[in-house]
Chains A and B, each alone.
Chain A
Amino acid sequence: DTAVSQTPKYLVTQMGNDKSIKCEQNLGHDTMYWYKQDSKKFLKIMFSYNNKELIINETVPNRFSPKSPDKAHLNLHINSLELGDSAVYFCASSQDIRAGASGGELFFGEGSRLTVL
């Protein structure tokens, strides 16, 4: 069973379109994240949710809107796509460190490569 799964894995679309990436985790974790990996491989956090509540919202354009219907799901919707949005988007999850999580690591999905033409 895949621990953190994202769909779709690849997404090619035109500028100006709206698209969504879905993420689900079956690890029972409390916190989920979206990361963006740019063309230089740099990974930067975009959002984090803890038990469906937004915790972090980094300086991301408001065209990006995360939605967490329950603590096992965190979806990313992007409006009016721009060329600069082309990247790999990673979903991740972790347990709350205060809950005595083993190791404290984040578990990542396989990434979704978004290409905006």
Chain B
Amino acid sequence: AQTVTQSQPEMSVQEAETVTLSCTYDTSESDYYLFWYKQPPSRQMILVIRQEAYKQQNATENRFSVNFQKAAKSFSLKISDSQLGDAAMYFCAYRSAFGGGADGLTFGKGTHLIIQP
């Protein structure tokens, strides 16, 4: 079974600064997807960024980028120019491509990101 580990229960960053959230995962599979989801106090689950394992290039979405190290099974999220609206729980998630992905997502325990004005 796959596992996802987020070692930082809470992170704090000054507004406009850069912060990196860590995620490692364990799998024996070669074909999979990785995601970062954001959950603000509204509890809505919002996709931040995705990475397909077969793509070597790191994904980028505006101020959000990842550092995907497949051999090390590491998938960190970098948030540049942090904004107050970035304050939320951030979940790292793994999805196997095996069997069409019907297993859904395996989540880490989350990192609570605090943005200080």
Residues on A with C-beta less than 8 A from B91 are 43
- Least Cβ–Cβ distance between A37 and chain B, in angstroms: 8
Given contacts A104-B33, A104-B95, A110-B43, contact A42 B104 (CB under 8 A): no
Interface residues in A8-39 (C-beta closer than 8 Å to B)? 31, 33, 35
B103 contacts A42, C-beta separation under 8 Å = no
A105 contacts B50, C-beta separation under 8 Å = yes
A45–B52 CA distance with the chains assembled, in angstroms: 21
B44 contacts A94, C-beta separation under 8 Å = no
Taken residue by residue from 89 to 108, chain A's Cβ proximity to chain B (1 for < 8 Å, 0 otherwise) reads as: 01010101111010111101
Interface residues in B25-73 (C-beta closer than 8 Å to A)? 33, 35, 39, 42-45, 47, 50, 52
B107 contacts A42, C-beta separation under 8 Å = yes
- Whether a CB of chain B sits under 8 angstroms from the CB of A55 is yes
- Whether a CB of chain B sits under 8 angstroms from the CB of A66 is no
Q: How many cross-chain pairs have Cβ atoms below 8 Å apart between A and B?
A: 76
Residues on A with C-beta less than 8 A from B50 are 103-105
Contact count band on B? 20 to 34
| A interface residues, tally (CB under 8 Å) | 30
Residues on B with C-beta less than 8 A from A108 are 44-45
A111–B37 CA distance with the chains assembled, in angstroms: 15
B104 contacts A48, C-beta separation under 8 Å = yes
B97 contacts A88, C-beta separation under 8 Å = no
Q: Which residue of A lies closest to B97 (CB)?
A: A97
A56-B103, A103-B50 known, 6 other contacts, Cβ within 8 Å: A43-B91, A43-B105, A50-B100, A56-B102, A110-B43, A110-B44
A-B residue pairs, 8 tightest by C-beta: A108-B45, A97-B101, A96-B100, A104-B33, A43-B107, A55-B102, A98-B100, A33-B104
Chain A contacts to B: CB under 8 angstroms: 31, 33, 35, 40-45, 48, 50, 55-56, 88, 90, 92, 94, 96-99, 101, 103-106, 108, 110-111, 113
